[in-house]
Chains A and B, each alone.
Chain A
Amino acid sequence: MRVHDFIVVGSGCAGAMAAQTLVDAGKNVTMLDAGISPQDQTIPNKDFLTVRNSEPRQYEYFIGKNIEGIGWGKVGKAEQITPPRRHMVQDTDTFLPVSSDSFSPVESLAYGGLGVGWGIGCWAWSPRELKAAGLDAKKMATAYNTVARRIGISAQEDDAQKYTLGQLASFQPATTMDRNHLRIFNRYQNAKAAFSRQGFVMGRAPLALLTKRLGSRKPYGYKDMDFYSDADKSAYRPWITVDQLRHHKNFTYIGNKLVVRFTETNNTVHVDCIDITTKKEASYLCKKLVLAPGVLGTARIVLRSLGDNNSRLPVLCNPYSYVPCLQPAMVGKAAEPRKLGFAQLSLFLDEKRHNFGASMASLYGYQSLMLFRLIRQVPLNFADARILLQYLLSSVVIMGIHHPDSQTSDKHLRMQPDSTSPTGDRLMAHFALSREEQRSRRHRERKYMAAARKLGLVPLKRIDPGFGASIHYAGCLPFSKQQRPFALAPNGKLYGTKDVYVADGSGFAYLPAKGLTFSLMANAHIIATNAAHEKTK
C-alpha cells in the first residue's frame, strides 16, 4: 500500500489552510474528505431584486425544488441554511450521530466543510485571548497576515480596531455600508462617550470579502444573494483553496471518505475510513497525519483511536442568542438594490476594557432571507402579518450576540456504542452554563438590548436557539505544555502519538466571543508549518 507523505483530513477552513501551507512548503499532500458537493443548480448571477422580479424558477434556490427549505416547528439549529447550502448538513445524522438533550451541534460532510455557511467575519483575537486559548500571540500575528493575504479580507481602521484587527496589516478597503447600518453607526458616533462608559465599542466587522480583485476572484457586487450563490467568488470559502490545490502536482484529493480512526505502527500512521457512498471500509497509510475535520469530528476520531467509552473530552461553544430589531427611522422604505447580507457592524461589550472576556454583537440587515422566515415568529394571522411585515421589512436588523466560553466540568463529550450507526458509535454531549455564566449572559444581553435602543433600534424578542447553534466549537484537546492524555503539545502534535497533528480548533483552551474561524485558519497554518518542518521519527 502506498505511504502518503502527509494526509490532511477535512476540506473546511482549517484543512484547506493546513493543506495549502504544506503544499507551499513543497510537501506531497493527500486530502481525505467526505466532500459532499451541492446539487447542480443554475442560479443567475443577478442581484436579489432582479431575481425576485423576473426569475420563474427562483423557488428552487429560495425554498428548494421540493420545498425542503421551509422550516417549521421550534427555531432550531441551522435555521439559516438555505437550499443551495443544504448539502452542508447532508447525511450528518447518518454518519455523525449525536445524542444530547442540552447540545445541538451543526457538523458538516460538505466539500468545504462548515466553511460553506461561514458568516466570513474575521476578527483577530487579542494577545490575552490568544494566551488563554494556548496560542502564541507573536506567531499568530504573523499567521493572521499570511491568511489574510491568501483569502482576502476587507476591513476598516476605527475605534474598535484593537478588537477587530489587532495587528493585521493586510486588508482591502471595507465594503460600503447599507443605509440601515450607516444610520446605526452614525448614532453610535454621536454618542460614543456614553457607550464607552457602559463598556461598549463599535466598529466595522472585518470580512473575508473582496473589494478588490484577488487572482480570479472578483470584488463584491452588492447583489445581496450572499446566502444563495457567489459566482464571482467574492466571499472566501475553503473549497476555493481546495479547488486551486487540486491543480497542483503535489496535491491529491480523495473524496467520499469519512476518516474514523488512526493507529500508529512502525513510523507510519494507518488511517481507517468509511466510504460514505458505499459504506465500505478503506485504509490509507501516511508518514504524518493532520486532523482538521472540525472539532467534534476530531473528538470522535481521537476517542476511537486512543480512548474508550469512558473517556470524556471537554468542549467549548460560544453561547448565542439573536434579537430581531426594528429601526423605526427606516420603516416603509423601498427595498434597497445594493445591499449585503453579511454582518456590517460589531458591537463589543468589554466593561473592564481588557480586550478579554468581551461579548460581541454582530448586526445584519435582513432583506434576502425573505418574509417567510420571519412570519412564523409573528403572533398574528398570516394575511395581516404579511401586510405588517412588508411595511416593516426595510427596518429589520438582526443583532446576533455571542459570549465567550471557558472550560467547566459541565461541558463534555464522550462516545457510546451504537450498532445502528455506520461507525458503530455516536457522540454523547452535555453542555450547561454555570450559574455565574448564566448570570453574566443575562446581564450582558440586557445591556445589549438597552444599547440597541440607544442606537435607534427597537429589540423585539430575544431568541435562544440553544447550545450548539453558534456553530463555534473548540477545546476538546486543549493545548498543554505538560504531556497528558487528550491534549495537544504547543506545536499541535497530539500527545501519545508520534506523527499525528491536530490543525482545527480542538486545542483552543478558551473561546472568545469573536468568531473563531480566522484564528482557526491562522492556527492551522502554524500547525502545518510545524508538521512540515519536524522530521518524521
Chain B
Amino acid sequence: MRKTLHDQAVTFGRYHIGTAPTDLAVQLYTAAMQGKAVPKNEQRLFNLALRHPTLIPYIDAGLVFTNPHAELRRRLFVMFAILETMPEYTALFLSKQREPLYLLFVLCVGVRAVFRTVIGVVITGVFRSARA
C-alpha cells in the first residue's frame, strides 16, 4: 500500500507540475491517504489512470461531469493543495505579470481543456457503462 501511495504521489505530482514532486510532498500525500480505500466501483478507472498517466488529464476532465466527487479527483485535489504549499513550486501557483499576448496561450489551454473534457466524458462514460 505504501509503495502504491508513493507511486500515486509521484504520478499525480507529475500530472500537476510536470516533474516528480519533492520528498516532502510525497510524504504528506502518503500520510494523508493512508488507510483510505478507493471505492470498488471506481477501482478500474483509478488503476487505468495509474497505469496510463497520459490518460489522467482526460479522465480528470471527464470525471468533472460524470462523477465530480470521484476518489481519483479527490486525490488529485489533495496532491494539488500539497504542491501549492511547497515553496519550490510557488512560481506555478502565484499570479504573475503577463504580457497581453499571454491571453492567446490561455485561450489555447481553454480549447485543450474542452477537448480533454469531450474525450474524458467518453472514457469515463464507457467505464460507468461497463460497471453497470
Contact = CB atoms under 8 A, between A and B. Distances in A.
B16 A67 contact: no
B60 to A, nearest CB: 4
A387 B82 contact: no
Interface string A220-259: 0000000000000000000000000000000000000000
A26 interface: no
A334 B15 CA distance: 25
Interface in B86-132: 86-87, 90, 92-100, 102-103, 106, 109-110, 112-113, 116-117, 120
A67 B33 CA distance: 10
Given A63-B82, A332-B100, A335-B94, 11 more contacts: A63-B81, A67-B31, A67-B81, A70-B78, A332-B103, A372-B77, A382-B80, A386-B16, A388-B109, A388-B110, A393-B94
A96 B43 CA distance: 38
Contacts of A370: 81, 84-85, 93
Contacts of A372: 77, 80-81, 84
A383 B15 contact: yes
Interface string A11-43: 000000000000000000000000000000000
A333 B87 contact: no
Given A58-B87, A63-B82, A383 B97 contact: no
Given A66-B32, A332-B97, A391-B102, A381 B120 contact: yes
B11 to A, nearest CB: 13
Q: Number of contact residues on A: which range applies?
A: 35 or more
A11 to B, nearest CB: 31
Closest 7 CB pairs of A and B: A332-B98, A381-B61, A59-B85, A384-B113, A372-B81, A381-B60, A334-B97
Assign chain B's interface to a size class. 35 or more
A376 interface: yes
27 contacts: A53-B90, A59-B82, A63-B82, A66-B32, A67-B28, A67-B78, A72-B69, A332-B98, A334-B95, A335-B96, A371-B80, A371-B84, A372-B80, A375-B77, A379-B64, A379-B65, A380-B61, A380-B64, A380-B117, A381-B58, A381-B116, A381-B117, A382-B15, A384-B116, A386-B16, A388-B106, A393-B95
A52 B95 CA distance: 12
A335 B77 contact: no
Interface of A: 49, 52-56, 58-59, 62-63, 66-67, 70, 72-73, 331-335, 367, 370-372, 375-376, 379-388, 390-391, 393-394
Interface-centre pick from B65, B74, B103, B109 (highest chain A CB count, 10 A) = B109
Given A52-B94, A388-B109, A388-B110, A381 B81 contact: no
B84 A384 contact: no
A52 B78 CA distance: 18
B89 to A, nearest CB: 10
A390 B94 contact: yes
